[in-house]
Amino acid sequence: MKFTWFNLMPWPYLPDDFREKNRSVWVDIDQRLFDPDKSHEVYNTYMDLLEYADTLGFDGIGVNEHHQNGYGIMPSPNIIAAGLARRTQNAAIVVLGNSIALYNPPVRVAEEFAMLDCISGGRLVAGFPVGTSMDTNYCYGQIPALTREKYAEAHELIIRAWTERDPFAFNGRYNKLRHVNIWPRPIQQPHPPIHIPGGGSVETYDFCIDNTYSYSYLSFSGYLRAKVLMQGYWDRVAERNAPDTSPYRAGFAQTICVAETDEEAERLYSEHVLYFYNRCLHVYPGFADAPGYRTIKTIQTGALSQYAPPRGGYAQLTWKDLVEGGHVIAGSPETVRHRMEDLIKGLNVGNIFCLMHVGNMPADKCMYSSKLFAEKVMPKLRGILPECEGDGRFWCKPLPKRATAGTLPQPYSPARVAEPV
């Protein structure tokens, strides 16, 4: 099993009446709700928590990319990842990911990911999302019906830039480059492992299967609701005669809160979980799915955006709704372990993106929950899929001996050298 401690980096100061006074947390969120001075503290606390997760023994620490978004103040995950690469020792740096169709030219991603891989000593796990409609189309202006073609071209360019050893010309439709020759290139060969966040597109299933990439379902609605979608993926894996059904071919994001008892979990975490589900996920439905962003085939399979409002609109969700519905796995270590087992076995997923920081959760509570998970839950889940433990295709392969940040020698001193010994 690979457990990645994930932080979406929500803005923790959205007002109580946010839903009533604002139409969306994303795209056209009120500028005035962001306070740059307060963000100084927020960013540094969030990065500290990611570093703390490394010391607890999580396999990875994860960041992602969103734009103009009140629950994800990370338009550039690579900036955060660079800090983490320096300040952590063991955890994989999971960047899930860079929306490669948005970078011009996409060799920028090949270069920055190579830098992260080099700085971290080969600890990078690279994610290539198409990006949500909110980010890709409405914030970054990509034409919906051309987004996937542009994405596919960016992917081809990045992989070639990573793997070819001589300069080459790239005559794409969206990128015309005479001399592709990235410098530096990544440590991991032939390239860092790639995870693809998806939301139920058949095309994305096939893309992962054909390229041996891990398919990640980054949902906030929990493992119970994910069964149909993940089964669709595994059915597709079988249909296309993939050589195996290794659970590492798949990843899943799950909100997790651990306390000593179920009651304590509710008492400690309820307000922060409700802040996230009832305030942060308030997205104007008109931004959910730009027409043309999803393929017709995907719409016909009924896989609709998780951001599209349910028929009848959102109700105000309660702690009980969220826990019983599986949006959130919360409770004592024993309760959480049982439900995590259901998740892992039910979805057949080897990569778990643990959303341990939720909404406006303060650092001390987040540390408490993370520590309990790392010490009392994670060890018991380690051996749950024994037959596939050796599958390293979807995880990073760090250098055995890695540099330690901040260990410069004494500066050169001409005076000292001149002295007779």
Residue ranges binding another protein (CB under 8 A): 137-138, 141, 143-146, 149, 173, 284-287, 290-294, 296, 299-300, 302, 304
The residue among 57 and 285 lying less far from another protein, judged by its C-beta, is: 285
The residue among 113 and 293 lying less far from another protein, judged by its C-beta, is: 293
The residue among 69 and 120 lying less far from another protein, judged by its C-beta, is: 69
Given a contact cutoff of 8 angstroms between Cβ atoms, the answer to whether 41 and 390 are in contact is: no
The residue among 141 and 411 lying less far from another protein, judged by its C-beta, is: 141
Min CB(388)–another protein separation in Å? 37
Given a contact cutoff of 8 angstroms between Cβ atoms, the answer to whether 25 and 18 are in contact is: yes
**Euclidean distance between CA atoms 383 and 1, whole angstroms:** 7
For residue 190, whether the previous peptide bond is cis, meaning omega lies within 30 degrees of 0, is yes
Given a contact cutoff of 8 angstroms between Cβ atoms, the answer to whether 40 and 93 are in contact is: no
Q: Beta 214-217 vs 250-258: how paired, if at all?
A: parallel
Helix, strand, coil percentages, rounded to 5, for the chain? 45, 15, 40
Min CB(298)–another protein separation in Å? 9
Min CB(171)–another protein separation in Å? 16
DSSP states of 354-370: EE-S-TT--HHHHHHHH
For 31-37, which contacts have Cβ atoms below 8 Å and span 24 or more sequence positions? Answer: 33/70, 34/73
Given a contact cutoff of 8 angstroms between Cβ atoms, the answer to whether 80 and 63 are in contact is: yes
Min CB(173)–another protein separation in Å? 8
DSSP states of 27-61: SS--GGG--HHHHHHHHHHHHHHHHHHHHHT-SEE
Min CB(352)–another protein separation in Å? 32
Min CB(409)–another protein separation in Å? 54
Min CB(141)–another protein separation in Å? 5
Min CB(302)–another protein separation in Å? 7
CB atoms within 10 A of CB 153: 18
The residue among 149 and 264 lying less far from another protein, judged by its C-beta, is: 149
Given a contact cutoff of 8 angstroms between Cβ atoms, the answer to whether 60 and 94 are in contact is: yes
Given a contact cutoff of 8 angstroms between Cβ atoms, the answer to whether 68 and 29 are in contact is: yes
DSSP state of 377: I
The residue among 136 and 335 lying less far from another protein, judged by its C-beta, is: 136
The residue among 141 and 190 lying less far from another protein, judged by its C-beta, is: 141
Tokens 């969306």 belong to 24
The residue among 238 and 299 lying less far from another protein, judged by its C-beta, is: 299
